[in-house]
Amino acid sequence: MTEVMKTVGLYKENILFDVNFSMNKGEMAAVMGPSGSGKSTLLYLLSGMDKPDEGEVLFDGDNICIYSEDMRADMRLKKMGFVFQQMNMLPNLNIMDNIILPAYQSRQTKRGSKKSEAQLRDEAAALMKKVGIAGLENRRITEVSGGQLQRACICRAMMNHPKLLFADEPTGALNKAASEEIMEEFVRLNREGMSVLIVTHDSKVASCCDRVLYMLDGKISGECALGKYEISQKHNREIKVSNWLEKHGW
Ligand SMILES: Nc1ncnc2c1ncn2[C@@H]1O[C@H](COP(=O)(O)OP(=O)(O)O)[C@@H](O)[C@H]1O
Ligand SMILES: [Mg+2]
């Protein structure tokens, strides 16, 4: 299997210490660990939002740490997707306009998409239908539920067809039913070939992933391999992850 992402000896002063991590194409992985252990920092480094003090981050074989600020922004826009808990949707735009925004931005770059606005709106509408929020196009972001807004965030993250999707606590603000729906969405998108990396505090969320990493004091201190999610194994996987977490003092 080929790697989509790999780190070599990642070091960030006082936060991350010699993190060596790799992710295969098509993989769905979770990162768990106590608050302050460095999970978000790891995501910022992997996505080029921040730079390490030492070590390398290889994305599709290229060391992104030596890219310029502009190159990293372009890479994020065109090859990566982001679903964060704080959501960063713009309050002055409706749901549809929030969703198409990254695609719109991509159009304005060199070698960006050449799609018309009508095409982008059609694609966004198709994504919204897929994730079950068709009909909410013209709502303001304050006029939909937390689960609906998070699904809109997933649509926005998907607009530029990312190779790798980063999610930081994507279900943190959601109730149990909405969390399950969001995870079904991630699993479905992963089956279509997109690699997914999720930071989560929820062992049920982690148990939907192929692999769970445990982060402690800026190091990856353990790993739990689960294989591809099957609904019939739901209960057993959750037990396996819970037991594994207990071993780590969770
Ligand atoms: N910009 C920053 N400057 C200095 N320290 C930071 C910064 N961001 C986070 N930290 C510290 O780094 C550690 C890891 O934070 P973070 O990656 O957010 O952890 P997690 O996501 O696991 O809760 C924490 O001790 C935090 O206080
Ligand atoms: Mg965090």
Q: pLDDT tens across 20-79, in order?
A: 999 999 999 999 999 999 999 999 999 999 999 999 999 999 999 999 999 999 999 999
Ligand 2 ion: residues within 5 Å (CB): 39-40
Report yes or no: 115 and 106 within 8 Å, Cβ to Cβ: no
Structural domains in the chain, sorted by start:
3-247 (3.40.50.300)
Quick one: tokens of 157?
């993250």
Looking at the CA of residue 34, tell me the nearest atom of ligand 1. Answer: 22
Ligand 1, atom 3, lies closest to the CA of: 15
Q: Model-level pTM greater than 0.85?
A: yes
Q: 210 alpha carbon to ligand 1 midpoint, in Å?
A: 26
Taking only the tens place, the pLDDT of each residue in 99-149 is 999 999 888 887 778 889 999 999 999 999 988 899 999 999 999 998 899
Ligand 2 centroid to Cα of residue 111, in Å, is 33
CB of 203 closer than 8 Å to CB of 241: yes
Q: Whose CA is nearest to atom 27 of ligand 1?
A: 36
**Do 120 and 159 contact (CB within 8 A), yes or no?**
yes
- DSSP H helical segments within the chain, as ranges? 39-46, 69-79, 95-107, 117-130, 146-158, 176-191, 203-206, 234-247
Q: Which atom of ligand 1 is nearest to the CA of 33?
A: 22
Burial group, residue 23, by CB count within 10 angstroms (0-12, 13-18, 19+)? buried
Extract the tokens encoding 69: 């600020």
Split at pLDDT 50, 70, 90, the class of 234 is very high
- Ligand 1 close to Cβ of residue 41 (< 6 A): yes
- Determine the distance separating the centroid of ligand 2 and the alpha carbon of 42, expressed in angstroms: 9
Instruction: Give the C-alpha separation, 82 to 91, whole Å.
Output: 18
